[in-house]
Amino acid sequence: MKTFVTFLVALSLLSACGKSPSESGSTQTTQATGSIEQVDAAQFKKLTESPNALVLDVRTAAEVAEGHLPNAVNIDIYGSDFMAKVQQLPKDREILVYCTVGARSQQAADILSKQGFAKVYNLDGGIVAWQRNGFEVVR
């Protein structure tokens, strides 16, 4: 009986550790009106070519100094003024968010969506994936 209970506990813990919709690459809709879409580097690059796109880098200033995507706006997600700056962004534009590998940008995408941004894209794999694909980085 003890083995069976241990098995059930282990099984429930394993199922709780499964991928969330945002990790599996599917579109995630939040409680607000906006949606977040996970996109790979090639899709993200295509999206950057749209005149309605605003590329948002949520890394620190030191990270940005090492290289960033062309025409990116930097708002550090850890900055005390992050929310104030985000609220100044135009809500009618497509927001393309990235960071180093995608974790901070996912947090930022969630915030943007909850703030009423209609369409938010998160670069899966961040600037690391972007560079791995050989796309331009501004230094």
Buried b (16+ CB within 10 A) or exposed e, 67-94: ebbeebebbbbeeeeeeeebeebeeebb
* CA dihedral over 77, 84, 87, 66, signed as positive or negative: negative
- Which position among 99, 108, 109, 111 bears the catalytic label? 99
99 is catalytic: yes
Instruction: Give the residue numbers marked as catalytic.
Output: 99
